[in-house]
Structures are given as C-alpha cells and as structure tokens.
Structure 1
Amino acid sequence: MNLLHVDSSALGAHSVSRELGAALVDAWKRRNPGAPVVYRDLAAQPLPHWVPVADANDPAVRANDEVLQEFLAADTVVIGAPMYNFGIPSSLKAWIDRIAISGKTFRYSADGPEGLAGGKKIIVVSSRGGVYSGASPSATADFQEPYLRQVFGFLGITDIEFVRAEGVNLGPEQKAQALASARESIEDCARIAA
C-alpha cells in the first residue's frame, strides 16, 4: 500500500489544507506502519506550466516522468487543495497536466475516452474561506470540487473523498468549527483508506 501526498497551498505554515492533509497522512500511517509515503510540495518545488517537449534528453521530460510515476505507483493519493478564486491553485493544475497523459492514464477509443488509472483512492483535503457546499447560495461558484471529480473520473478513478474545512475566513469561531468537523472526517477517511 503506497501513499502519495501532494500539497499545493502557497500559505506554508498558515495553510489549513496543509495542516489537515498532514493530519490525514499521520492517521493513515498509524494504520499502515512502514508503508511507503511519497511527498510532493507544489509550492516549495513548483512545476512549470506544461509545454510540449520534443527532446527526450530535456530535463523536463525526466521531471514529467517522475511526477507521473509517483502518481501511478500510489494506491492512495492525498491532495491538499485550497480553493483559490473558486478553483484550484495553478500549481495543482500544473501537476494534473503531468498525470493526465494519453496512453498512460487515459486513452481514446471508438467508444470515447477510457480512464486507465482506476483502482486508486483519492482523498482531497479542501480548505475554503467561504461556504460552497450543500444548499449554500455560493454552491454554484464551486469550480474546485467538480473539476477534481471530473479530472480524476476521466482518469478512471471513482473512489474520491473530500475532507472540507469551509468558512475558515468567516471568523475564529467558524474556523474552529470547520477544523473540528474536518478532523472528524479525517479519521473516517484514514480508516477507509487503510
């Protein structure tokens, strides 16, 4: 059982998604002692935006392959994904562009696209300054969760969980409630992913 942990928040030690993602990975490790964990910090080591590379000796080719191999080797992927301007950070999009590769994680067939990366569990740790889920009036502005569900579904991954900390910028009391609720979800997700 291999785990890949990806962080994308630019807020460092002040990041809610990083804090909760680390807690989820710690809970997973307690249930899977000694299991390999690979960590990729997209803010500390950002990937450039994807461009086609024609030269096989270009270092970008090796970097792209490394990112893809980390993803393919993982049974469980924990992604720290804060909501930035109703979507995901551009650093996370750059990472997705390295794993959504025709012939590797999906292919086109006569019946349309087919995902090739099934059998993985994705757990997205989402932090949001406002409230965008459920019956919230802002729910139509959530381009983060639907996008992530779509892209991983396109790759053939259907086992996707979200741990949400919503309303973290609506005051200290709301932030504390959001963190407490997310921590409860973390234990459930870690148990299921183990």
Structure 2
Amino acid sequence: MKNILVITASIFGQDGQSSQLVKRTLEQLRASHGDLDILQRDLSAEPVPHLDADRFGAFLTNADDRNSQQQRVVDYSDSLIEEVKQADIIVIGVPMYNFGIPSVLKAYFDHIARAGISFRYTENGPVGLLEDRPVYILAARGGIYAGTPNDSQTPFLRSFLGFLGLKDLHFVYAEGLNMGDDRKADALQQARRNIETLTA
C-alpha cells in the first residue's frame, strides 16, 4: 500500500480548484496503485505557524540547551519532516495568490527546511537529505502564467523542493480560471487529462 502525503493550501478549503485537482489526482493514483494510506494536511484549516525569531531560535538551539517551549517547536517541525519521509508520493495543491504561493504553504516549507535534518551544507554547496520520491503539484491560477516571467511559483517550487532532495516533480496547471466560463471549463478538462497521463 502506498503512503500518500497530501498538502492543500486553498483559502476555499476542499472546494478550491487546486484542492479539487488534488482529489482527482488521488482518484487516479488509487486506480493505478489500489488502496492508499492517505495523510492529509489542509493548511488553510490547520495552518502551520509562520516562522518568527523565537521559532527560528528554537531550531538553532542545541538540544541540551532548549527550554520546554523550544522543544515543542522542534518536535512539531520534526513531525512534519517525518511525514514527508514516510510518504511514497507527495501531492500538493497550489493556488496562486498575488503571483506567489499561499503564505500558509510558505510557513509549512519554513518548518520542513532544517539544516542537518532535511538538508546540510557542504564545501561544495547544500545537499538535500530527503530521499527523492514523486511529487505531484496541482497549480490552479486565475490567469495565464506558465512559461512566462510572471510564473514565480514553478521556479520557486523546483528550487525549494530540490534543495531538500525532492527532484521528481510533476506539474499540472489549470490556468485562465478567471477568464470566462468556457476557458475555465477547457482548462479544468485539460488538467484532468494531464493528471490521467501523469499518474497512469
């Protein structure tokens, strides 16, 4: 049975277009792999705290020197990283808000990027410590951005996830969702076809 980590970040919860594409992806993965053990993190419903000086300080403090609050912060971060490590496949729903990823997703990323835990620095540069596995990224956008300078999401996600060692990335875009009903319907239909191709 495949372990699937699902991360959604739409302000509309499971009704958001990116979340709906995630749902479709899970249906296709189930058709390909049979029963799935799914762990879902809805970052809109249960947001990860944004990184601040106290939380970052906890990450930097030696284990023997941490107070109880710092240890809780580290334990929480460790649990998020462990979820990634236990997943055979990761599925991420990524709506675009003001040209970027949702802030709740960035907060989550800030808690799984830990020096010595999920990456390390070497004399030849940083090295990701997470074992590579398939990551399906379902990107829903109101306009047309893929392949243009205004697509800040794709290069960021490639850079960040690659930094941790996750390089087997598969993007599906549903774009132009706010550019009329016909365009929206066509974009969602094409995205569903792309999901079927990727997960077959």
Q: Deviations over 1:70-122 (max 9, x none)?
A: 11111211000001111100000011111111112211111111111132111
- In structure 2, relative to structure 1, the CA distance for the partners of 1:153 and 1:188 (3 Å cut) is same
Query: What's 2:128 paired with?
Result: 115
* TM-score, normalization by structure 2: 0.88
Please, which of 77, 82, 102 is the counterpart of residue 115 of structure 2? 102
Equivalent residues of 2:100, 2:153 under 8 A apart: yes
Distance 1:172 1:34 in 2: 35
The aligned residue for residue 43 of structure 1 is: 44
8 Å contact kept, 1:118–1:158:
no
Distance in 1 (CA, whole Å) between partners of 2:98 and 2:86 is: 31
| Number of the residue aligned with 1:160 | 169
Partner of 1:21: 22
Question: Post-superposition shift, 1:28?
Answer: 0.8
Matched letter for residue 46 of structure 2 = Q
Q: What runs of 5+ residues in structure 1 fail to find an aligned partner?
A: none
Separation (CA, whole Å) in 2 of partners of 1:98 and 1:163: 25
Note if 1:86 corresponds to 2:95: no
Please give the alpha-carbon distance, in whole angstroms, between the structure 1 residues aligned to 2:135 and 2:128: 15
Identity of aligned residues (%): 40
Q: 2: distance between equivalents of 1:60 and 1:158?
A: 27
In the alignment, which residue of structure 1 is the partner of 2:68?
Answer: 57
More helix by share: 2
Paired AA for residue 177 in structure 2: V
Work out whether residues 95 and 101 of structure 2, in 8 Å CA contact, stay in contact via their aligned partners in 1.
yes
CA contact (8 A) 2:8 2:92 kept: yes
| Paired amino acid for 1:57 | S
Cα distance in structure 2, aligned partners of 1:176 and 1:115: 39
CA–CA distance in 2 between the matches of 1:119 and 1:61? 23
Letter in 2 for 1:76: I
Pick which of 103-112 and 29-38 moved more. 29-38
Name the SS for the 1:24 alignment partner. Answer: helix
Separation in 1, partners of 2:86, 2:67: 22
Q: Which runs of 5+ in 2 are unaligned?
A: none
Corresponding position: 1:144 with 2:153: yes
Q: 1:170 is matched by which residue type in structure 2?
A: M
Q: Distance in 2 between matches of 1:79 and 1:10?
A: 14
Tell me by how many angstroms 1:13 deviates.
Answer: 4.5
Q: Deviations over 1:25-72 (max 9, x none)?
A: 121122222332111000000011122225453333332222111111
- The count of residues paired between Structure 1 and Structure 2 equals 187
Question: What is the CA RMSD across the aligned residues, in angstroms?
Answer: 1.4
Secondary structure of 2:156's aligned partner: helix
Q: Structure 1 CA distance, aligned partners of 2:116 and 2:88? A: 19
**Cross-structure match for 2:85:** 72
Amino acid of the structure 2 residue aligned with 1:155: L
CA–CA separation in structure 2 for the residues paired with 1:86 and 1:190: 27
